Chains A and B, each alone.
Chain A
Amino acid sequence: MLHYLEQAMSDAPKQRAPELEFANVSRRGFLTIAATGFAVAAFTTQAGAFARYKTGGDFMPHGIRYDPKIFVSIDADGTVTIVAHRSEMGTGSRTSLPMVLADEMGADWSRVKIVQAEGDEPKYGNQDTDGSRSMRHHIQSMRQMGASVRHMLAQAAAKKWGVDAKSVTVGVHEVTSGGRKAGFGDLAADAMALDVPAFEDLTFRTEDQFRYIGKGNIPITDLHDITTGKAIYGADVSLPGMKFAAIARPPAVGSKPIRYDATATFKVPGVEKVLGLQISNFPAKFAPLGGIAVIASNTDAAIKGRDALEIEWAEGPHSGYNSAAFTEEMRATAKKPGAVLRAEGDAKAAFEGAAKVFARDYSQAHMAHAMMEPPVAVANVANGKAEIWAPVQSPFGTRGDLAGALNMPIEDVTVNVTLLGGGFGRKSKCDFAIEAAQLSQRIGAPVKVQWTREDDIRHSFYHTTSVERIEVALDADNKVTGWRHNSVAPSILSTFAPDSGHQFFIESGMGHIDMPFDIPNISVENGAAMAHTRIGWFRSVSNIPRAWAVQSFVAELANEIGRDHKDLLMEMIGPDRLLDPPKQGFPENFWDYGEVYDEYPIDTARLKNVLAIAADKAGWGLDLPAGEGIGLAVHRSFVTYVATAARVKIVDGKITVPEMHMALDCGFAANPERIRSQMEGAAVMGMTTAMHSGITYENGAVTQSNFHDYPMVRSDNYPQKVHTHVVPHGFEVHASGVGEPGVPPVPPAIANAVFAATGKRLRDLPFGDTV
């Protein structure tokens, strides 16, 4: 995400050009290939088990590394150590990526140890753990590195035994030839001293030879530590002489303290210092908000001392922000023409000539991520060096931001990545790590900054608030002839650059421009909305309001014109085809999740397939008892296709979800077990988003503070049974990611089910848990 923001901010076209050029070249390239039936022969291997393909990983900062000597080491006792270079926040990437490498290599998983990489992209390649791309971008490098080590072990054995390498077999954690046998540990030193083979010289396992890949038989690597309390998260790091800090931050962004009284604070035993911190206002990237810090000998004293501060805050640049009024302003804006982002056919003529126009708008409040572990970081800045321990999604980005904030060369900054107690995009923003480092630099001692839950809810980088208005033109036969979708929402870009009120190409690529319906006249528009709080990315990002609007709208339209929702949705998606962006009026800078479009095109057949599976499994069309209903939604995001069929049952006015079907097509499914867990989690987070997640503002300050007024779905009312249906594919269908795509279809599926059960249409997120 950050990478694209930096791209969008720079007005120098040369920064964005390589990707655009590549996309265009590739598109032409694809056409040539298709016309001549030419395969990508240069990259195929002997068995055809692994045809290499291009991913957006190559365009990420520092790209992808393929050197097994960086990622793998083997001890003499046979222990294989594999580096996890992505952050673990619950998706399982710390297990799944090393698992791919281990399987291709022939390692026995019980003898594999995982070590977490520090923030070092020049060494490990890109480490930004977001965008649902850990598996998407790294499955190929993991396979290649695993195969490389397997070859090196075989070569070492052949040399040692004086036999032909072709006679050597690499089994599970051992190498044999004739009657000779050696463990990986016996060969490790010789093998790892050899040159790394070129990709073209490698052989790869065929899918029937996989032991772990695609099997879902590997428990997460931290399972034992998590269940025994030994797993180390951000707050679990302790340094000798460490001080503890809690910070009072401005209630509205940019407000300054007029005066403060710390008398009561200093009466709290353990409080040592009170320090003023510089106030920031956006755009300031991840600069801390500033405020007043309390330094103490333990967390309890720091928090109690902070809470005892009496502070009078001045009105600031955003003290006039009232979100209820703002939503109505956005609603009015959405009714007017916006900046046109995609124009196909002649939408104006279609609406002018329409027999009927049907329009609805859908809103969403801001959301805070509320990961169970609030932001926290430990820093030690001493002797011209800085070392940080923090749960961050972008370890190398954090390192760069810290170097800037501390005015130190990046070489003198070390970022150690702990486990993340949830991330959801919040921990891509390292303001909390900067706070800890700056305080440590200032007081000359190691510092832990602990955010309370109130801090987390009130001082986030929020999911944007939005109004999405959709209008369709219908002809006399109720066929949709025109589509206008105006999206109005403050942009993430406002956190990074002066705010124009307009969204940028990645927000527009998330379910807005890329709307897949087969409608001849389309106008995709963006009306302006200025940001009044820090806007950031939240799991699934703009796909949440887009799926909410589009998938609710089609259900409303079906009801309006007396059609079956599923039939109409299938019909609107239209014939099986790959969308052709230039032909369909997509802009030049259309963003397909950073991928080369032809490698991950928008495929309507795959979209319809998941919808058909979810509907079928849920029993679409069957009669249900009164007070029950099934709702459908389907959405492609992060190049993965997900359909949700939610079954809702109203119990004494309360919305319950006895069953949910999640059908997804994520290409090759590398770890089906963690795919399932992501879908189960998406069902829960989607239900929380649908019913509960509303951050509102009064006079610039967040109204909510903790889980009593910013509630989460709990075990007393959650999707009781989530069935995950994964469309099976071979490795040739590029693996995509699953961290985010499960969430967007869930809220509209629930709302559509509520309508089916009660006749009540919900258009504003969050809609509460009662009807």
Chain B
Amino acid sequence: MATVRINGQSRTIDGPDDTTLLWAIRDMAGLTGTKYGCGAGLCGACTVHVDGEAVRSCQSTVGDVAGKDVTTIEGLSPDGNHPVQVAWREYNVPQCGFCQAGQIMQAAAILKQKPDLTDDEILEGMSGNICRCGCYERIVAAVRHVSTGS
């Protein structure tokens, strides 16, 4: 048994400390916005924030986040209107939508670190997140919009 703070709430995880954070979030905490895409830290679909930084939850364990704050897509903004979420809607970014929670969490994290990202920084910062539908142009445009207003 371990306790993890997710979106400001303490949750008891019925599993050992080496339980993969992604599955603890999905199966045990019941928060399904965070997605499984590869299980190997290669696609970014499972991205969450741990103490404000983007982390691949498929590569973290419950033990790794003890005493830390985990934020998932459900907790990114109380009303769902984080500037990145708003920009995603403005650009009608998603196609199938499956990777987008991870994309949004990644974008929010890199924008928090540096609010005025250059294009190269956006491309580099988002390169760990795969979108098989191929929404990159809109993803980059939405991040750029939040970053520079253009």
A693 shortest CB reach to chain B, Å: 11
Partner of A372, one of B33, B39, B85, B98: B98
A389 shortest CB reach to chain B, Å: 13
The stretch of A57-65, A207-215, A715-723 that contacts the partner chain: A715-723
What number of A-B contacts does a CB cutoff of 8 Å give?
A: 187
Question: Which residue of chain A lies nearest to B85 when distances are taken between CB atoms in the complex?
Answer: A227
Scan residues 241-295 of chain A and give those whose CB is less than 8 A from a CB of chain B. Answer: 244, 269-270
Contact (Cβ within 8 A) B139 A715: yes
Question: Binary interface profile of A, 671-697, with partner B (CB < 8 Å = 1, else 0)?
Answer: 001000110111111000000000000
Chain A residues with CB under 8 Å of B112's CB are: none
Interface centre among A269, A300, A685 (most CB of B within 10 A): A300
Scan residues 96-140 of chain B and give those whose CB is less than 8 A from a CB of chain A. Answer: 96-101, 104, 122-124, 126-140
Chain A residues with CB under 8 Å of B35's CB are: 233, 235, 372-373, 421
Question: Which residue of chain B lies nearest to A423 when distances are taken between CB atoms in the complex?
Answer: B96
Chain A residues with CB under 8 Å of B38's CB are: 453, 706-707
Question: Which residue of chain A lies nearest to B89 when distances are taken between CB atoms in the complex?
Answer: A223
Contact (Cβ within 8 A) A685 B136: no
Contact (Cβ within 8 A) A681 B27: no
Contact (Cβ within 8 A) B80 A677: no
Chain A residues with CB under 8 Å of B37's CB are: 372-374, 453
**Does A422 count as interface, using CB distance less than 8 angstroms?**
yes
Contact (Cβ within 8 A) A419 B27: no
Contact (Cβ within 8 A) A680 B27: no
Scan residues 18-77 of chain B and give those whose CB is less than 8 A from a CB of chain A. Answer: 19-20, 22-24, 26-28, 30-40, 42-43, 45, 72-74
Chain A residues with CB under 8 Å of B43's CB are: 372, 453, 707
B108 shortest CB reach to chain A, Å: 11
Chain A residues with CB under 8 Å of B12's CB are: none
Contact (Cβ within 8 A) B137 A722: yes
A652 shortest CB reach to chain B, Å: 15
- Given contacts A227-B104, A229-B73, A238-B30, whether A421 and B15 have CB atoms under 8 Å apart is no
**Does A714 count as interface, using CB distance less than 8 angstroms?**
yes
Contact (Cβ within 8 A) B136 A684: yes
The stretch of A67-75, A89-97, A154-162, A497-505 that contacts the partner chain: A89-97
Contact (Cβ within 8 A) B15 A712: no
Partner of B33, one of A228, A301, A423: A228
- Given contacts A232-B32, A681-B134, A681-B135, whether A371 and B96 have CB atoms under 8 Å apart is yes
Chain B residues with CB under 8 Å of A315's CB are: none
- Given contacts A227-B80, A270-B15, A680-B134, whether A422 and B42 have CB atoms under 8 Å apart is no
B39 shortest CB reach to chain A, Å: 6
Chain A residues with CB under 8 Å of B122's CB are: 715
Chain B residues with CB under 8 Å of A269's CB are: 15-16
Contact (Cβ within 8 A) B95 A90: yes
Contact (Cβ within 8 A) A303 B39: yes
**Does A220 count as interface, using CB distance less than 8 angstroms?**
yes
B126 shortest CB reach to chain A, Å: 4
Partner of B92, one of A219, A298, A681, A706: A219
A683 shortest CB reach to chain B, Å: 7
Q: How far is the CA of A415 from the CA of B142 in the complex (A)?
A: 36
Contact (Cβ within 8 A) A227 B88: yes
Q: How far is the CA of A231 from the CA of B40 in the complex (A)?
A: 24
Chain B residues with CB under 8 Å of A90's CB are: 94-97, 133
Partner of B39, one of A223, A228, A453, A677: A453
B14 shortest CB reach to chain A, Å: 8
Offer 22 A-B interface pairs, CB within 8 angstroms, sorted by A: A88-B96, A89-B96, A219-B92, A222-B94, A226-B94, A229-B31, A269-B16, A299-B26, A300-B23, A303-B39, A372-B133, A373-B35, A419-B97, A420-B96, A422-B98, A424-B132, A453-B39, A453-B43, A673-B92, A677-B95, A680-B138, A721-B137
Scan residues 294-329 of chain A and give those whose CB is less than 8 A from a CB of chain B. Answer: 298-301, 303
Chain B residues with CB under 8 Å of A453's CB are: 37-40, 42-43
Partner of A685, one of B27, B88, B132: B132
B81 shortest CB reach to chain A, Å: 9
Partner of B27, one of A244, A373, A420: A244
Chain B residues with CB under 8 Å of A370's CB are: 132
B29 shortest CB reach to chain A, Å: 11
Knowing that A233-B98, A300-B24 are A-B contacts, what are 17 other residue pairs whose CB atoms are under 8 Å apart, sorted by A's residue number?
A: A90-B94, A223-B89, A227-B94, A371-B96, A373-B96, A421-B96, A421-B99, A422-B132, A423-B96, A678-B95, A680-B137, A681-B133, A684-B136, A706-B42, A715-B122, A715-B127, A715-B136
Chain B residues with CB under 8 Å of A683's CB are: 134
Chain A residues with CB under 8 Å of B85's CB are: 227-228
Q: How far is the CA of A721 from the CA of B92 in the complex (A)?
A: 16
Q: How far is the CA of A466 from the CA of B100 in the complex (A)?
A: 34
Question: Binary interface profile of A, 597-632, with partner B (CB < 8 Å = 1, else 0)?
Answer: 000000000000000000000000000000000000
